[in-house]
Amino acid sequence: MSKVDGWPEMDFDGGMDMEPAPTSEPVEGAGGGLWVTLAESIEAAPEPATNLWASLEDRLDFSRRKPRRASQVEVVRQVRAKGAEQYVLRNPAANTYLRIDSQDHFLWQHLDGEHSVRD
């Protein structure tokens, strides 16, 4: 039995001759191997329109974000016995409360989608 197209020869005992058949013809499209082909395609690829790292840095810069407060949150102003102001934020959807001081309330008021964190 002869080897066909580089496949190993099968004998009747169920064993195989694992030596591939020699080929003298070059494989079409090989062009120097996988790494050469990849290198050529990288060199031929156009430069990206934007710099990836600059784009990532811009997207991850949280100081440029313009956060917006949750619309369902209710705010109640309270004055303590010593005259200190405090505010209680209530989220009726989650049934949660948060007590904040006047400085935090100032920040809460600026969460309007117009001001950035940097402002």
The helix/strand/coil state of 68 is: strand
- Which residue from 76, 73, 105 is spatially nearest to 88, judged by alpha carbons? 76
The residues with which 96 forms a beta bridge, in sequence order, are 91
pLDDT score at 43: 84
16-17/74-79 β-pairing: unpaired
- Tens of pLDDT, residue by residue over 12-65, are 665 555 555 555 555 555 557 888 888 888 888 877 777 888 888 888 888 888
β-bridge pairing 74-79 and 9-10? unpaired
Per-residue pLDDT at 59: 84
Residue of 90, 85, 110, 86 lying closest to 100 (CA atoms): 86
Beta pairing partners, 115: none
DSSP three-state, residue 75: strand
* The token pair that represents 89 in the structure block: 């934020």
Quick one: DSSP state of residue 88? E
Res 79 pLDDT > 90: yes
Tens-digit pLDDT profile for residues 83-115: 889 999 999 999 999 999 999 999 999 998 888
Q: 67: which DSSP letter?
A: -
Query: Is the pLDDT confidence value at 72 over 80?
Result: yes
